[in-house]
Each structure stands twice: as structure tokens, then as C-alpha cells.
Amino acid sequence: MNRFNPTPQLDGHGGWLSQARLNGGQHWVRNAVCHVCCSDAGNPPIPVTRLHTFSAQDSYVASARSAWLRYAQDEAQRKSQSLGTLAQIAGLPLSGLITAARLDQAATINNWLISTNLHPQWQDSDLSLLAEAVMSRHNDSPLLIRNVSDAANPGLAQRLAAQGWTLLPARQIYTCDAQDPAVWQHSHVQRDQNLLDRADLQWCPPDTLGEADLPALHRCFRAQFADQRAVHNPDFTPEFFQLCLESRFLELHALKRAGNIVAVIGLYQRYGWLTAPLISYDPALPLNYALYRRLMALLLHEAKARGLQLHYGAGGRAFKQHRGGSPSLEYSAVFSAHLPGKQRLALATLSGILQRTAAPLLARHG
């Protein structure tokens, strides 16, 4: 089989950042048409993204409007109900407040254009340096940090609030201590792990996948976009899949049936955590193949094997709780102290609405 480099080049972040700076975020994520620059603070370097064109198809990984409004509406349609989503907050002026606060143009820090950015354990001095460095280039826009939670970064939300950042409820996430023996006593976990040993499908780890597999991997991923309700998910490009195979930015694992790829998962490991920003499978295959359960079983198995904590991401409340997931509210943090008063007022009003309405909904139904 024609393979890429058998030894991964570092962790792929350097290659991701260099190409994104040259070609924009859309080089890696088709529906994230944004400028990408490099923060002057911190080591290793981190990306700062900012939308420069606006579309109704913008992914929630790049657009605040998509994150709080469009994606919530997608989920409401997917579930045929609005319960537990921000779309339930009918009649509230969220769109106008997002515009007035200029969140569409926010400079988003440490944003790798994936569903779950994993952050280092930033301390007060780190956050101050980051804010100063980013404001020096983006003094006309808010600063934003996605994926802030006490579960993944204890104390980070409090440190940001103390430095004047506003916390906007964003998602209900689920994390799991994969090293806890109690997790492995769940009957759902035991049944799922048994799926990994079934021989009806072939597991393909990263070192067995090569350039010849790229079109099939991308086709399998793109199958989810046949459902228009998934339009605001990150639409990874063929170049992104090539980056992952070459340098393991995401570690790709696939399932094959009769030689054809029918499922793919991309594992992302950083700062003691493992998560899966890319999960897709052939929806036409019969349900008894349990493709999603197999992919999630691999994720949990790998977290335990590597001694890592597991970030399940958002959604699938009952499914993830039955597999050791503990809920936690996740925020996006916004800094606007350098902006005019009307923008700060819009942000404060938006924060008040979301804290009163979205936070309880997410905690109960997210």
C-alpha cells in the first residue's frame, strides 16, 4: 500500500498553522472562510481566527452567529423539537445583539477550527499576555475563546472573569475519567467494547491508511453533509485529510467492509485529553453494524490505553452518560473592555439573556 510518512512529523499543528496563515481557514475547513494569524504570545504558537466574509453556511467553529443561532436551529430540526437548544428562546433579540456586539468579527484565540479546542492550563499572566498580543492586531473587535469549561480547565472560567471577560453559555459537554474502574462496569461500555472484537468489519489504524484511501475517507466524511441540517458542522477539505494522514493533526482510524471504508474517526490528543472532532459513518449500512457505537468504543478504549482524560464533546446526553460521561457547562469567553460602550452594552445584555435562559436549558436538556 502507498503510505505517507510512517513516522508522524511532530503533531501537525505547525503545518496546520502555516498553511492557514497563507490560505485562510477555508484551506482546512470549507465553510470557515476566515483570516488566520499567529499569536505573538505563548509557546508553541497558537492561531487567531477572524471571519472576513459572512455566509449563512458559516460553520459554528468560525462564526459566533452560527454557534448560538444557526447550529441550535439545525439541532432543533434534527430532533423535531427545540427542547434543550438555544432555538427554544423564541422572540429574544439574539441576532441583533450579536450584530451590535460585533461577535461576527471576533478574534478567536487558540481556534483550530474543530468542535473542541483543547487549551493549556493558562494562568493569569498567560491570559494577560494573550489579550495584549491579540488586541495589538485586532483593536477594533472583541476577543473570544471557545471551549471554556471547568471540567477540562479547572479555574480557567474564574480567571477569565476576574480579568474582565464575559462568559456566554455555549454547550453542555460530557467528560469521562477513562482510568476509573467504575466506568468499565457499565453494561453499555462492556457491550460496546465487545464490538471492537467483531470480525465482520476490518479496523484500519493510522499506519495502515495511505494516499490511496484519501478519496474514500473524504467521501465517507462528506456523507453527513447530504443532510442539510449538518451544514454548520465543520466541512473538512481533502487537504485536511491529507494533513491528518501525513502528520497526525487528527489520528485517523477507519472501518472497512468488503474493502470499502464505511466509518472514520479522528482522534485529537493534547494537554492530557483525548477527544474526537471528526466522526462519520455510512448511514446506508444496516443498524446492526453499530458503527457509531464502535467508533465511540474505540475512543474510550484509546483514552484508557494512553492514560488520558476523555472529552466526549456535546450531544447524546443519555448515550454518553451511560458510558461514564459527566455533564459540564461550557462557555465562550469574550473580552470587550477596549471597545465602545454600545458594543459592551450589547454584550452584557446578550450575556444576561443567555445566563438566565440558555444556561438552565443546557444544564437540563443539553
**What are residue 173's DSSP bridge partners?**
314, 328
Determine which of 7-11, 42-46, 311-315, 339-343 has the lowest per-residue pLDDT on average.
Answer: 7-11
Encode pLDDT of 200-218 as tens digits: 999 999 999 999 999 999 9
Question: Which of 18-27, 66-75, 212-221 bottoms out in mean pLDDT, i.e. has the lowest?
Answer: 66-75
Distance, CA of 278 to CA of 285 (rounded, Å): 19
Q: Which residue has the higher pLDDT, 76 or 331?
A: 331
* Counts for the chain of helices (H) and strands (E), in that order: 13, 11
Share of the chain above pLDDT 90, in %: 79
Q: What is the pLDDT of residue 26?
A: 97
If one compares 93 and 102, the residue with the highest pLDDT of the two is 102
Q: What is the pLDDT of residue 2?
A: 31
* pLDDT tens for each residue of 144-172: 999 999 999 999 999 999 999 999 999 99
pLDDT in tens, 302-338: 999 999 999 999 989 999 999 999 999 999 999 999 9
| CATH superfamily placement of domain 181-321 | Gcn5-related N-acetyltransferase (GNAT) (3.40.630.30)
As a whole number, mean pLDDT of residues 341-366 equals 87
CA distance 338 to 243: 37
Distance between CA 130 and CA 137 in Å, rounded?
11
pTM confidence score: 0.92
Q: Break the chain into its structural domains and give their ranges.
A: 13-171+331-365, 181-321
> Residue 61: its pLDDT value, please?
97
Q: Amino acid letter at 135?
A: M
Q: What is the pLDDT of residue 365?
A: 63
Distance from C-alpha of 274 to C-alpha of 308, rounded to nearest angstrom: 6
Q: What is the DSSP secondary structure assignment for residue 308, as one 8-state letter? A: -
Arithmetic mean of pLDDT, 108-123: 97
Q: Which residues pair with 260 in a beta bridge?
A: 257
First to last CA, the chain: 43
Pairing assessment for the beta strands 34-38 and 166-176 based on DSSP bridges? unpaired
Radius of gyration (C-alpha) of the chain in whole angstroms: 20
Asked if 164 and 338 touch (Cβ cutoff 8 Å), the reply is no
- Spatial CB neighbours of 331, under 8 Å, sequence gap ≥ 6: 148, 149, 157, 167, 168, 169, 170
Nearest to 208 by CA among 64, 24, 3: 3
Q: Is-cis flag, bond preceding 44, omega within 30? A: yes
pLDDT at 359: 78
More confident residue, 127 or 3: 127
Query: 83 is written with which cell numbers?
Result: 427542547
CB 46, CB 20: distance < 8 Å? no
Residue 360 binned pLDDT confidence (cut-offs 50, 70, 90) = confident
pLDDT at 5 over 80: no
- Given a cut of 90, is residue 59 above it in pLDDT? yes
Percent of the chain beyond pLDDT 70? 89
pLDDT score for 69: 85
pLDDT 10s digits, 263-309: 999 999 999 999 999 999 998 899 999 999 999 999 999 999 999 99
If DSSP codes are grouped into helix, strand and coil, which group holds residue 173? strand
